[in-house]
Amino acid sequence: MKNEMTVAGYLKSRMEEIEIEHIFGVAGNYTAPLLDTIIADTDSPIKIIGNSNEITAGFAADGYARVKGKPSAIYVTYSVGPFTGLNPIAGSYVEKVPVLMINGAPTNKENSNEKNVGLLYSHTTGYEFVDIHMFRPITVAAERITNAAQAPYQIDSVLTAMLTHGRPVYLEVTEDVWRANCKTPKGTLSSGKGHIVTVSEVSKAVTAAMTLIKSRPKSIFWAGIELQRLGLQDEFLELLMVANNKHAKNNEQIHFITSALGKSCISEEHPFFDGCVTLTKSKINELVGDDGVIIGIGAWTIGKDTENQNIRSDRTILAAHEGVFVGSEFFPLVDLKTFIEKLTEAFNATSKFNLKGIHPALKRLAKIQKTDNSLGYTPFFKELEAYIKKEKDTVLVVDAGFPLIGAQSVIIPERNGFVAQAAWLAIGYSVAAATGVKFAVPNKRVMVAVGDGAFHETCQAVAEHYANGQNTVVFVLANGIYGIEQYLVNPNPFRKPPVEYSDKLLDANYHYNEIPKWDYSKIPEAMGGIGRKASTIIELRAVLEEIKQKTNDNFVVEVSIPTQDTPEALWPHLNSTIGEDETENPNWPPESKY
């Protein structure tokens, strides 16, 4: 009928309307009717991307959406698919990335048979509706569609929630409903974002913020991830310009910093950029002392960015999550865009007040003088930084652990040129996310810095890079151990020299942190691309030159890192950090049993 279409066609139509252009996943019969509907329309902008597994699909969808600034989608088949894809969706939920998970389910008849006669179908556990129960806590909306007449309302509700909250949503559709007819879409979907704003709270928040800034004039902005998520980078730069043009005196300006999660939300070549830091209480003392304030604009107080410390105090302004903390005061329902605009107006309208001067320039990565030409985290990232500075059309995707710590000080010249899952911190994210990142920015080259342990998790994504004609470069920083885990439990093997314990077990890396050794440079022989090794700085420079020349090829580069090496950012803390096995418990360290 003229005013009807299939449920699959309805979902496809709404996906196109909200500009979902890529759908990642693993083929399965339960979602085949949707995929068939998409490929049958040669004019559809939606591209179906096949992935190695649901984890790489989920990370790719996440990487695409966070860089593109538009929703993406993942398709899976009942239970075996979503169970595997749970980790990526949880990360997208934590880090506010809009991803639509589409899960094909057994038919209504199969579900009835399973309940009434005890027949267990493929991919079912016997626990009724287990899939949607899993995803409700990590999505902002989840619907199970079993009736074609109701499907349009459920689909519209879920997609509107995704647009409004910028977080993942879940749709479960029984196989027999996909091809059933429903009504055609009515109207257009819109986001409710920013529609609930309490004007009085915005005014109060701005007044309180300006009062605190005036009372503690040695201030610094903290540019956060919401500037990128909500597309507010230009508004922040306008605030920065007005604050300094109106009130700067004798080169005493308000500068800005970032932290790992929000790194590169503003170009790090901006003259007022003062570094990507971990905002511990001691770092805040270094930045502003007792007479300044940290002004967080869209910044989240996640564990990685604050070293798991609660930094809220009478020296902090934190505007994020649709609210503003000014010291101990909280102002709810304050839209970030509105707050930035009103704070800019307040700076512009306020008579000049004296700034006490900026903090000393933050320490950059040391200029390493190595006579042995050997590699380590710091020399590697210095060489990579020099490359990216020249080849600006580069996006660096970094995995959790030592690579993320080492990369934090690399200057990223391009806005949104750095991607890391810095809150959820699932290892293996980077290699798979790079697939989606490249689709989001096809004219840029994507480079990945990943530890060997994390690479083991999602190495299959290298095949996706090659299959999709992507010129992605994966640097596997191979030190043979889970370095960050060893550091947290017992950093003694990294110290120079190590502490002498009676228990010699504390002198070496724990065997359970050791990683099975692969010949990483051989991976492309099976999966596609070019494999290379670099054990010295000279070898690394030669590989980087080859990468520069071969603009259309994907690479896997094995970078040899000494087992006892750590990123430079950890060096000052090695002797003061006490590992979990080095507590002051009188029974520790125990007498060695070996």
Domain ranges for the chain, please list them. 4-183, 199-349, 377-480+515-563
Give the pLDDT of residue 263: 98
- What is the average per-residue pLDDT within 238-249? 81
Give the pLDDT of residue 592: 44
- The CA-atom distances, in angstroms, between 415 and each of 67, 246, 258, 376, 516 are 10, 25, 12, 27, 37
Long-range contacts of 313-320 (CB under 8 A, 24+ apart): 314/212, 315/216, 315/284, 315/288, 315/290, 316/284, 317/209, 317/212, 317/213, 317/293, 319/205, 320/224, 320/226, 320/296
Tokens 């979907």 correspond to 189
Band the pLDDT of 53: cuts 50, 70, 90.
Answer: very high
Band the pLDDT of 499: cuts 50, 70, 90.
Answer: confident
Per-residue pLDDT of 369-393, as tens digits, reads: 555 688 999 999 999 999 999 998 9
Give the pLDDT of residue 575: 83
Q: Which fold has domain 377-480+515-563?
A: Rossmann fold (3.40.50)
Peptide linkage before 586 cis (omega within 30 of 0): no
199-349 matches 4-183 in CATH topology: yes
Least confident stretch, 190-194, 215-219, 495-499:
190-194
Residue 353 pLDDT > 80: no
Phi, psi of 83, rounded to the nearest 5 degrees: -60, -40
251 or 453, higher pLDDT: 453
Residue 290 pLDDT > 70: yes
CA distance linking residue 236 with residue 339, whole number of Å: 10
Least confident stretch, 111-115, 480-484, 552-556, 578-582:
111-115
Per-residue pLDDT of 415-441, as tens digits, reads: 999 999 999 999 999 999 999 999 999
Band the pLDDT of 573: cuts 50, 70, 90.
Answer: confident
CA distance linking residue 498 with residue 338, whole number of Å: 53
Matching CATH number, 4-183, of 3.40.50.970, 3.40.47.10, 3.20.20.70, 3.50.50.60:
3.40.50.970
Band the pLDDT of 246: cuts 50, 70, 90.
Answer: low
Give the pLDDT of residue 286: 87
Band the pLDDT of 259: cuts 50, 70, 90.
Answer: very high
Give the pLDDT of residue 118: 66
Cα angle 540-376-281, degrees, rounded to a multiple of 5: 130
CA distance linking residue 463 with residue 480, whole number of Å: 23
3-state helix, strand, coil in the chain (%, to 5): 40, 20, 40
Long-range contacts of 150-155 (CB under 8 A, 24+ apart): 151/7, 151/10, 151/177, 151/182, 152/10, 152/182, 152/183, 152/185, 152/186, 155/10, 155/11, 155/14
Give the pLDDT of residue 363: 46
- What is the average per-residue pLDDT within 399-424? 96
Residue 364 pLDDT > 70: no
Instruction: Report residue 276 as tokens.
Output: 């990507």
Residue 365 pLDDT > 50: no
Per-residue pLDDT of 292-326, as tens digits, reads: 899 999 999 999 999 899 999 999 999 999 999 99
- What is the average per-residue pLDDT within 322-341? 95
Band the pLDDT of 574: cuts 50, 70, 90.
Answer: confident
Amino acid in the structure at residue 322: E
Residue 572, Cβ density class (10 Å: 0-12 exposed, 13-18 middle, ≥19 buried): exposed
* Crossing angle for the helix pair 336-349 and 233-247, to the nearest 10 degrees: 10
Give the pLDDT of residue 48: 98
Kindly indicate whether the domain formed by 199-349 is annotated with CATH number 3.30.530.20: no
Residue 593 pLDDT > 50: no
Mean pLDDT, rounded, of the chain? 90
Give the pLDDT of residue 156: 97
Give the pLDDT of residue 416: 96
Band the pLDDT of 503: cuts 50, 70, 90.
Answer: confident
Instruction: Report residue 408 as tokens.
Output: 């934090």
Band the pLDDT of 128: cuts 50, 70, 90.
Answer: confident
Give the pLDDT of residue 382: 95
* Crossing angle for the helix pair 54-68 and 429-440, to the nearest 10 degrees: 50
CB 288 within 8 A of CB 219: yes
